[in-house]
Amino acid sequence: MGTFFYVVLAFLVGVLVGWFIWGRLRGELDSLRGDLDRTRGERDKLRADSDRLTGELNACGKTRADLERQLRDAQTGGAKAASQPPAALMSTPAAAKSAPAAAKAAPAKPAAKAAPAKAAAAKSAAPKPAAAKPAASKPAASTASAAKSSAAPKPAAAKKAAPAAAKPAADKPDNLRRLIGIGPVNEKLLKAQGVTTFAQIAAWTAADIKRIEDVMNFDGRIARERWIDQAKLLAAGDEKEFAKQFPTAGTASNT
């Protein structure tokens, strides 16, 4: 009887000790499972952040490549525009060349008139006696010198007048950066095309807009930002209406 009692007591003690140990082990196991789940969550979060950063890095790389291409195209367009000035500028040297050519051709007429005068003087002096020859030669010489003196100032006057006519009245350049959409880079490209005033922009035609947009690598931006409407108001000096229609434009510089 005593032995059975001790066996039952030992069995109960073993069950209690096993239950206690199992409880502790189960708690630690649950803790380890929680740590594992938390670690997995952090790992997934880090993977998501890594994917997001990779996408942003790729987008930045594409943006940088596009900006470099636009800058390279703008520099190429600026070089082409500098090597080929507009037709309005090319017409000035032609007028300057034609003016000196007309000035050079002008003195030929007095010389042609002087030649018949000399011939007439020589014919009138031929039938007269030898004593009358000196008297006749003097008027001929005086007429020839008068013809030369009257013909000489004309080339000089023509040459002086030609450069004055060849030089066009240069308009004072305007601050193009007052227009919405024109910053330092666009202002530099426009000046390379010979555009320096609001009046020039206000007078653009459809062909001019296409030419400027091809050079500046735009696509309808001039119409969207209403460059011509802005330039017309500023060229007319209507600052009040300009400020009313375009309140976001700067008063001195649109940077």
* pLDDT value, residue 152: 42
Q: For residue 135, is pLDDT > 90?
A: no
Read out DSSP for 112-148? Answer: HHHHHHHHHHHHHHSSS-GGGHHHHHHHHHHHHHHHH
Residue 238: its pLDDT value, please?
A: 92
52-78 pLDDT, tens per residue? 999 999 999 889 999 999 998 998 877
Contact 147, 110 (CB under 8 A): yes
CA distances for 101 relative to 46, 60, 87, 150, 167, angstroms: 81, 60, 21, 20, 16
37-42 mean pLDDT = 91
Residue 131's pLDDT is 38
pLDDT tens, 41-55?
999 999 999 899 999
Q: What is the pLDDT of residues 93-117, one digit of tens each?
A: 444 455 444 444 444 443 334 444 4
